[in-house]
Amino acid sequence: MNTSGSEEEFCNERTSLMTTESPPVSSYHVETGISSLEDTQTKGRRPITNESNNREADHEGESVERDSTADSEDEEMSLKYGAKHVIMLFVPVTLCMIVVIATIKSVSFYTEKGGQLIYTPFTEDTTSVGQRLLNSVLNTLIMISVIVVMTIFLVVLYKYRCYKFIHGWLILSSLMLLFWFSFMYLGEVFKTYNVAMDYPTLALVIWNFGAVGMVCIHWKGPLQLQQAYLIMISALMALVFIKYLPEWSAWVILGAISVYDLIAVLCPKGPLRMLVETAQERNEPIFPALIYSSAMIWMVGMTEHSAVQQPSHQETNSDEEVGQSHHDNTEDNRNMVVPETEVHGAQSRTTSAVELEEERGIKLGLGDFIFYSVLVGKASATASGDWNTTLACFVAILIGLCLTLLLLAIFKKALPALPISITFGLVFYFSTDNLVRPFMDNLAAHQFYI
Amino acid sequence: MTTSVFFGCTFIAFGPAISLFLFTIARDPLRVIFLIAGAFFWLVSLLLSSLVWFIAVQISNKENASVQKGLLIFGVVLSVLLQETFRFGYYKLLKRANEGLMALSQEDAMPISIRQLAYVSGLGFGFMSGAFSVVNILADSLGPGTVGIHGDSQHYFVSSAFMTMAVILLHMFWGVVFFDACEKKRWWAVVIVVLSHLLVSCLSFLNPQYEGSLIPAYVVMCLMGMWAFSSAGGSLRNLKLCLTCRDKDFLLANHRPR
């Protein structure tokens, strides 16, 4: 039985960590300062990275003139900044996983079998193990091919500048997520806790939630509210996956998607790499939609030496485009981790020049959030080792993310963020569930401590 | 068997560790990363020891209860040894990484000192060890059931919580002493750390006679705590100055702008 109105297709743009060129530390002339200020005003809604990219190009040449002390200071600061950005990604990933785990443990709706998506048509209720394995592999093939087709479609659209189409698609999918899925979620939570609720109140709540979400994600809003909404929709998406993907298919899909991510981002003709390069050529941010951004941009004006803080409105549409209509649901999950290299400042404060001080931010695609949460959620839903397995997967994913960010700092180019974490997560899931669990259970039964 | 038992045992087991984390580690991203890396290393050591135990169980006689118990004891000892081996491995990795970073940045000062790393990694080990020991028990304490219905001890939850707290703090102390001993190449101290870990684990074989296992474990914890304190540079004089708020370094440090 296939559920009809509520599945989303996913077109996952794989996660990639991307570094744009990082401009050197330099002080700015008055003219460029003014022009960049004007830029921000005129461009208005355009993301700030544009100007930073332009400025990067301008100040590339000055990089050579830095002296060695600035170099070593930078290294020290870059280590601390690197650690800071790792934590800036740990926190939202942890929050998303906590939301998913809390829901899975309390609301039984998401662990009940309720049918399958049309992208995984083969059932797993078969008699033999071999048949089940075959079915799950076939499901995976279908799912991955849907994702590949959708990604290529998206890249083609982007290349031919069909921005309106893409934006419309993104808006439709985030509408579906913010209204329909959150309504379902709220309904299930009320059922679980036996809360009586009337429709007018519910309509008001959902309307407010959804409308503020659309504004925050697609237009402007406080950074933290935007981040919160992105985390919430990632969690909702992950919960839908956990419910509708059959067990073995889910694990095989997770594995296959990491491999696809690796290929799509690193191969020269991979769709995601082409997307990244096209965006870099055009000096545009890569789909602010569906990317979680943690950057804060500060600009110090010339007239007042007070810092005027502008939240980085990346016009992040939700990372997951959840196509809503029954025929054309495509979900774009961009898994791109992009360190926004705004200029990282250490300007002389004595001059009256306009100082641009921007903190380097980091961006992670929402598809990453989704798949990490799917892994941890599935681990907590189906593992008999319960909390041990969940904890092990959680730590494994965080360490994988840390390693990926370390590689990003070393290689400074687009990197997929899924493979390492998902590999660690899968390894730890299966080994903890099958090896560690009996050991720890026996120890706990005798109250032995290791 | 209610939420009060659950919350009580959770706070007993994790209270000191979480407060240590919140007050000393949570602000500094580098320390958080090394804490999680320490937890990961402990997890890998547990994985390996479970693998060996599992294989041993599969090839042994599953019916014989005493053989199984013997294998479990063997598993515990092996796990302790592997944990200490991985602690040593983590120490080596951190030293190499620190040296690499220093060479790269041509700085004299490392962003994080080896003592802080010792503390943080010990706490990471402790967190993971405590969590794996007690989280399932805590989850069970929420739901319906009767403690000790077959004649087992009534104090299962509370004793588990206290033991977990001791183990977490012990891991932290062991981390500090271990790294300090490795730095100064005092291998006898390393051996003592390993032996004390083995002692605490083997004492838990006496459960459910909690007098035999909990009290000595706490004694060992206090001794290790004092040893860790002195190896981290503390002394009675420092302690007195700190407690009477006359320690100038401490006061100055707290007033330093961040």
Average pLDDT over residues B104-116: 75
**Considering only CB atoms, which chain A residues are within 8 Å of B68?**
442
Taking the Cβ of residue B66 and every Cβ of chain A, the question of whether any pair is shorter than 8 Å is answered with no
Model pLDDT, residue B186: 92
B119-147 pLDDT, tens per residue?
A: 999 999 999 999 999 999 999 898 788 88
pLDDT digits (tens, 9 = 90+) for A106-142: 998 998 888 888 888 888 888 899 999 999 999 999 9
Interface of B with A in 113-152 (CB under 8 A): 128-129, 131-133, 135-137, 139
pLDDT band, residue B239 (cuts 50/70/90): confident
Residue of A nearest to B26 (CA): A87
Q: Which residues of B touch A443 (CB under 8 A)?
A: 72, 75-76, 133
Asked whether the beta carbons of residue B107 and residue A386 sit closer than 8 angstroms, the reply is: no
Higher pLDDT, residue A89 or B111: A89
Q: Which residue has the higher pLDDT, A90 or A337?
A: A90
Q: Is A445 on the interface with B (CB under 8 A)?
A: no
Mutant choice from A91, A294, A447 vs B, greatest count of B C-beta within 10 A: A447
Radius of gyration of chain A, Cα coordinates, nearest whole angstrom: 23
User: Residue A286: its pLDDT value, please?
Assistant: 67
Is there a contact between B72 and A448 if contact means CB atoms under 8 Å apart?
yes
- Alpha-carbon distance of B9 to B164, in angstroms, equals 10
Average pLDDT over residues A412-432: 92
- Summarize pLDDT for B33-76 with one digit per residue, the tens: 999 999 999 999 999 999 999 999 999 888 888 899 999 999 99
Token digits for B243? 């407690």
pLDDT given for residue A256 in this prediction: 95
The reported pTM is: 0.80
Mutate to test the interface with A, among B50, B58, B81, B207 (most CBs of A within 10 A): B50
Segment B206-238, tens digit of pLDDT: 877 888 889 999 999 999 999 999 998 888 888
- Chain B residues inside the 8 Å CB shell of A76: 105, 107, 111
Give yes or no for B191 touching A (CB within 8 A): no
Catalytic (active-site) positions of A: 261, 368
Among all residues of chain B, which has the CA nearest to that of A444? B133
Q: Over 80: is that where the pLDDT of A3 sits? A: no
Instruction: Tell the residue number behind the tokens 């009580």, with chain if given.
Output: B8
Q: How far is Cα A247 from Cα A418, in angstroms, rounded to an integer?
A: 20
Interface A–B counts its CB contacts (< 8 A) at 129
Contact present, A105 and A229 (Cβ < 8 Å): no
Query: Which residues from A are below 8 Å from B205, CB to CB?
Result: 446, 448
**Residue B1 Cα, gap to closest chain A Cα (Å):** 18
Are the Cβ atoms of A391 and B136 closer than 8 angstroms?
A: no
SS (H, E, C) chain A: CECCCCCCCCEEECCCECCCCCCCCCCCCHHHHHHHHHHHHHHCCCCCHHHHHHHHHHHHHHHHHCCHHHHHHHHHHHHHHHHHHHHHHHHHHHHHHHHHHHHHHHCHHHHCCCCECCCCCCCCCCCCHHHHHHHHHHHHHHHHHHHHHHHHHHHHHHHCCCHHHHHHHHHHHHHHHHHHHHHHHHHHHHHHHCCCCCHHHHHHHHHHHHHHHHHHHHCCCCHHHHHHHHHHHHHHHHHHHHHHCCHHHHHHHHHHHHHHHHHHHHCCCCHHHHHHHHHHHCCCCCCCCCEEECCEEEEECCCCCCEEEEECCCCCCCCECCCCCCCCCCCEEECCEEEECCCECCCCCCCCCCCEEECCEEEEEHHHHHHHHHHHHHHHHHCCCCHHHHHHHHHHHHHHHHHHHHHHHHHCCCECCHHHHHHHHHHHHHHHHHHHHHHHHHHHHHCCCC
CA–CA dist B75, A17 (Å, integer) = 41
For residues B149 and A242, the model is more confident at A242
User: Using CB atoms, which residue from A71, A388, A438 is nearest to B54?
Assistant: A438
Q: pLDDT band at residue A359, thresholds of 50, 70 and 90? A: low
For residue A24, is pLDDT > 80? no
What band does A421 get if pLDDT is binned at 50, 70 and 90? very high
Cis ω before B208 (30° cut-off from 0)? yes
A69-73, A120-124, A415-419: lowest mean pLDDT where? A69-73
Nearest to A387 among B111, B136, B205 (CB): B136
> Is residue A56 pLDDT above 90, yes or no?
no
Q: Is the confidence at residue B110, as pLDDT, over 80?
A: no
- Tell me if A450 and B39 make a contact (CB, 8 A cut-off): no
Nearest to A436 among B37, B46, B73 (CB): B46
Residues 73-112 of B with CB under 8 A from A: 73, 75-76, 79-80, 83, 101, 104-107, 111
pLDDT for residue A370 is more than 60? yes
Nearest-neighbour CA in chain B from A374: distance (Å):
21
Cα angle value B78/B196/B159 (rounded, 5°): 85
- In this predicted model, what pLDDT tens digit does every residue of A245-261 receive, in sequence order? 988 999 999 999 999 99
- Residue B79: list chain A partners with CB under 8 A: 450
Give the residues across from A320 on adjacent strands: A333
